[in-house]
Amino acid sequence: MFVMQEFELFEEDGFVLALPFDLEGGTQGESFEDAAEMAADWLKCTAEDWLIHGVEPPKPTFGNEPERGGRVILIGVDVSLASIPTVSASEAATRLGVSRPRVTQMLASGALVGWRDGRNTRVTIDSVNARLEYRDYEKEMATA
């Protein structure tokens, strides 16, 4: 899926903010180039989330005028489920030290991110790593 989006880049408080038109969210960088790269990464992650959850991307508007005195740039990204780093549900269970059914429960509750691919379930490596980091944080707080 190829997604295009216009962003306004403008300076504020020593950073360059990149805010998309017609979408919630945004990002920032230390320079215009950095902010543009961050905007492309933000759009890629957003589009991957749409793919994972089966959401149709909103139709973008083009020809927007700056609203904050910045510059409007167009960013396009090509995304696919195949490009998202994943592990099988069984591998996720092994990494997390839980059962395969527990991974299914975690996917259903949103504690992990993944999707069905035919008979197989794919779990994003980012969500597995986030759960591991959260578990480590909880352990740290319990002993503090």
- In this structure, are 64 and 89 located in the same domain? no
- In this structure, are 70 and 90 located in the same domain? no
- Taking 80 as the threshold, does the pLDDT of residue 144 lie above it? no
| Domain CATH code at residue 131 | 1.10.10
Phi, psi for residue 70 in degrees, rounded to 5 = -100, -155
44 and 77 Cβ atoms separated by less than 8 Å: yes
| Domain CATH code at residue 15 | 3.30.160.250
Q: Is the pTM of this model over 0.85?
A: no
Cβ-Cβ contacts under 8 Å for 129 (sequence gap 6 or more): none
The range of the structural domain enclosing residue 137 comes to 85-143
Q: How many domains does the chain have?
A: 2
- In this structure, are 7 and 45 located in the same domain? yes
Q: How far is CA 68 from the centre of its chain?
A: 25
105 and 131 Cβ atoms separated by less than 8 Å: no
Per-residue pLDDT reduced to its tens digit, 95-113: 999 999 999 999 999 999 9
